Amino acid sequence: MSVAPTLIAEIGKHVDSEVEIAGWLYNLRSKGKIHFLQLRDGSGRLQAVAVQGECDPASFAAIGELKMEASLKVRGRVRPEERAPGGYELAVTEVAVVQNPIEDFPIAKKEHGIDFLLENRHLWLRSSLPGAILRVRHEAITSLRNFFNARGFLLVDTPILTGSIGESAGSLFEVPYFDLGTAYLAQTGQLYLEAACAAFGKVYNFGPTFRAEKSKTRRHLTEFWMLEAEAAWMDNEGNLELQEQMIGTLVQDVLSRCGPELKLLERDTAHLAKTEPPFPRLDYGEAIEILRKEGRSIEWGNDLGAEEETVLSSRYDKPLFLTNYPKKAKAFYMKENPANPETVLCADLLAPEGYGEIIGGSQREDDLEKLRARIREEKLPEDSYAWYLELRRFGSVPHSGFGLGLERTVTWLTGIHHIREASPFPRTIARLYP
């Protein structure tokens, strides 16, 4: 068996020929002289039928002993079979067992609690629902990369070990760092992308970011992937338009490439299909008025919570831009709004159906003195921002950018309840295993 195995996904090209499938057994039903084996190989799932008398006798006997998740190589002839999932079936002639599990697989067909499944995430990945979610994640990543590559953005990988705080001091992971004291795990690559956009014009990064947030919500991870884009000469309005185009393309790509996965996940794709630019925009001040009319006691100046976001976004069936937040609710680097200096030129993008904020973005403060004043106001260590301030000394230009949270976006695209399932090995405040 030295020939490369045939992939289940390509089985349709081999009708009436003999092939070898290398994979795992995820179900076995036996009826006297017939074994029905359900196989998976990572590319797809296939039914194989072993009939006594037609299959090699030693193989037939070995199949009867198999446990779930046995690894095996199966030889047989491909035939069309309307009743089989996928439309083909393998008539088995020979089986080579690679390993028969030494005990019963812990994940069975029955319902398991979420804690048990997360504790067994290394094995749970083999099931069909996690598989479908991670395939959508893969297609989302591919779509986003293609989007920026096609528009002349340069990929610039920003550091994970950093010396300056990107977002908020309250959610930093600290790492002992030789004689230099403490390093922080990056909360964002933005500050470095701002340096890169003055070198290359349009840039993006896509990598892991870390937040030591003690939030136990369905939207928070301690490690998540962020796609960030930054462009010189792009103003706040241009930033929103870029985001609309990106999200529109992303949804189209996922709808066209992940049909079977979205079906398995029972995602309402009609709702997703409405995600076409332009997206509605709502000024923060108007949002506060709407929330007050709905009977919520919220003060102008406060950040919005998940519930408030849901009240606002449920008024629309497309993603919603919430614009021009108060300065004091947002990070130090956002550019003051000339029309109302108490606010900044920024927008959060809220996904529909209650999924909340998936993008945070803004125009950046490009005025040296205003930026320095903000750093002082926030009591940030000015020394570690010396390089960042220098960007405003040498050819400062208007520039803007944003960060999209990958797992939050995948949670929305797949219609799942909790963000942890959008990550292959989720990290939350209570989970480091597996």
Residues in contact with 25: Cβ distance below 8 Å, sequence separation at least 6, in sequence order: 37, 38, 39, 66, 67, 68, 69, 70, 72
> Half-sphere exposure of residue 69, counting CA atoms within 13 Å on the CB side?
14
Distance CA 226, CA 219 (A): 14
By C-beta, is 304 or 359 nearer to ligand 4AD? 359
Q: Contact region for ligand 4AD (CB under 6 A) — 50-58, 355-363, 381-389, 422-430?
A: 355-363
Q: Contact region for Mg ion (CB under 5 A) — 114-122, 198-206, 257-265, 357-365?
A: 357-365
**φ, ψ dihedrals at 287, nearest 5°:** -60, -40
Distance CA 76, CA 54 (A): 10
Q: Is 360 in the site for Mg ion (CB under 5 A)?
A: yes
Task: Report CA-CA distances (Å) from 66 to 20, 72, 94, 96, 316.
Answer: 18, 10, 14, 11, 53
- Residue 230 CB, shortest distance to ligand 4AD, in Å, is 7
Q: Which residues in 183-202 contact ligand 4AD (CB under 6 A)?
A: 188, 190
190 interacts with, out of Mg ion, ligand 4AD, none, CB within 5 to 8 A per kind? ligand 4AD
235 interacts with, out of ligand 4AD, Mg ion, none, CB within 5 to 8 A per kind? none
359 interacts with, out of Mg ion, ligand 4AD, none, CB within 5 to 8 A per kind? ligand 4AD
Q: Contact region for ligand 4AD (CB under 6 A) — 42-50, 145-153, 216-224, 275-283?
A: 216-224
Distance CA 388, CA 386 (A): 5
Query: What is the pairing mode between strands 34-40 and 71-80?
Result: unpaired
By C-beta, is 35 or 211 nearer to ligand 4AD? 211
Distance CA 374, CA 331 (A): 9
Q: Is 378 in the site for ligand 4AD (CB under 6 A)?
A: no
Q: Are 249 and 143 in contact (CB under 8 A)?
A: yes
Distance CA 373, CA 376 (A): 5
Q: Which of 69, 94, 228, 366 binds ligand 4AD (CB under 6 A)?
A: 228
Q: Is 358 in the site for ligand 4AD (CB under 6 A)?
A: yes
Helix (H, G, I), strand (E, B) or coil at 261: helix
Q: Is 44 in the site for ligand 4AD (CB under 6 A)?
A: no
By C-beta, is 35 or 420 nearer to ligand 4AD? 420
**Nearest Cα to 196, choosing from 156, 229, 236?**
156
* Residue recorded with tokens 């340096």: 195
Task: Report CA-CA distances (Å) from 230 to 202, 233, 363, 366, 426.
Answer: 6, 10, 9, 13, 27
Dihedral of the CA atoms 396, 401, 403, 409 (nearest 10)? -170
Q: Is 304 in the site for ligand 4AD (CB under 6 A)?
A: no
Q: Which residues in 386-425 contact ligand 4AD (CB under 6 A)?
A: 401-403, 405, 407-408
Sheet containing 356-363, strands listed edge to edge, beginning at the edge strand earlier in sequence: 154-155, 202-210, 223-232, 399-405, 356-363, 346-351, 320-323, 281-283
26 interacts with, out of ligand 4AD, Mg ion, none, CB within 5 to 8 A per kind? none
- Residue 133 CB, shortest distance to Mg ion, in Å, is 23
Q: Is 23 in the site for ligand 4AD (CB under 6 A)?
A: no
By C-beta, is 266 or 303 nearer to ligand 4AD? 303
Q: Is 167 in the site for ligand 4AD (CB under 6 A)?
A: yes
**Nearest Cα to 326, choosing from 334, 317, 318?**
334
How many other CB atoms sit within 10 Å of the CB of residue 149? 12
Q: Are 350 and 320 in contact (CB under 8 A)?
A: yes
Q: Which residues in 53-92 contact ligand 4AD (CB under 6 A)?
A: none
- Residue 331 CB, shortest distance to Mg ion, in Å, is 8
Q: Contact region for Mg ion (CB under 5 A) — 286-294, 323-331, 339-347, 359-367?
A: 359-367
Q: Which residues in 48-77 contact Mg ion (CB under 5 A)?
A: none
Distance CA 205, CA 226 (A): 8
211 interacts with, out of Mg ion, ligand 4AD, none, CB within 5 to 8 A per kind? ligand 4AD
By C-beta, is 202 or 220 nearer to ligand 4AD? 220
Q: Is 221 in the site for ligand 4AD (CB under 6 A)?
A: yes
Q: Is 166 in the site for Mg ion (CB under 5 A)?
A: no
Enumerate binding residues for ligand 4AD (CB under 6 A). Answer: 166-167, 188, 190, 211, 213, 220-221, 224, 226, 228, 357-361, 401-403, 405, 407-408
Applying CB under 5 A, the residues found at the interface with Mg ion are 360
